[in-house]
Amino acid sequence: MPNASLSDDIALRIGLAARTLPDTDPARLLRVLADAVGLPPTAERLAGLKVKDLKQAASGDLADLDMDALRAALAILKGEAGLQLAPLPPTDPYIEGEMPDSIRVACASNGGEELDGHFGAARHFLIYQVSATESRLIDVRTVDESQAGDDRNAYRAELIADCQVLYVASIGGPAAAKVIKRDIHPIKDADGGSARKRMLALQPILASNPPPWLAKAMGQAPEARVRFEREEVEA
């Protein structure tokens, strides 16, 4: 099918959706869509598309891909996500070490200061420094797929390697394993919403009774972590 038969909107959706899928360019995704919904793919046809259709089309060409990545691609194809990008938020000044007992938190985001990104598809990671009394957005790290090489999940995990916690709308098992390998604790938050509000909700947890993994990330002594474990058991 000649590219001219695609509307600009659908061509954009296909291009952006292909970027979320490993080893997939727009031509490969277009071949799958041709089998799944027919030619040309239109907004009306894509609206009825399901993940299982993507997995089964073109003799299962995409069947082995991560389910969360396929869902993220499907949302873009349907025009539900990834097309309108909010501007990046401004960052707060921060000097290393000036917030004692704080942790560094990454939030997967597609734009603005929103927690709305699938780990393998998010365009940015919002980086916060969070303590019991304050939180600061100290960096916004943009994903550059041209630097990812053969392992995009490993590249993304390395991009946030200085963080102790990752908030993400969704993440697949293999990707989570690469994150955990770097001592980053992933937290899935499918509801998404304001990343800033998630950080504000984290502050009282840091102030009161953090779980052992979080106490460790804060650098608290082993005796304190044992106390937290006892309190959790007795509760």
* pLDDT in single tens digits along all 235 residues of the chain: 444 478 888 888 898 888 778 778 889 999 999 999 999 999 899 989 999 999 999 999 999 887 877 888 888 898 876 555 678 899 999 999 999 889 999 999 988 899 988 888 788 999 999 999 999 999 999 988 778 888 888 999 999 999 999 999 888 888 899 999 999 999 998 888 899 999 999 999 888 878 787 877 776 554 443 333 334 334 3
Is 89 within the bounds of a domain? no
Tally the domains of the chain: 2
Is 65 within the bounds of a domain? yes
Same domain, 220 and 109: yes
**Buried-exposed string 4-24: b where 16+ CB fall within 10 A, e elsewhere:** eebeeebbebbebbbbbbeeb
Question: How far is residue 127's CA from residue 111's CA, in Å, rounded to a whole number?
Answer: 13
β partners of residue 141: 125
Is 54 within the bounds of a domain? yes
Same domain, 110 and 68: no
Same domain, 134 and 215: yes
Is 155 within the bounds of a domain? yes
Same domain, 129 and 226: yes
Domain extent, residue 111, equals 103-231
Query: Are 217 and 103 within 8 A, CB to CB?
Result: yes
Is 91 within the bounds of a domain? no
Residues 6+ apart with CB under 8 A from 37: 45, 46, 48, 49, 53
Is 88 within the bounds of a domain? no
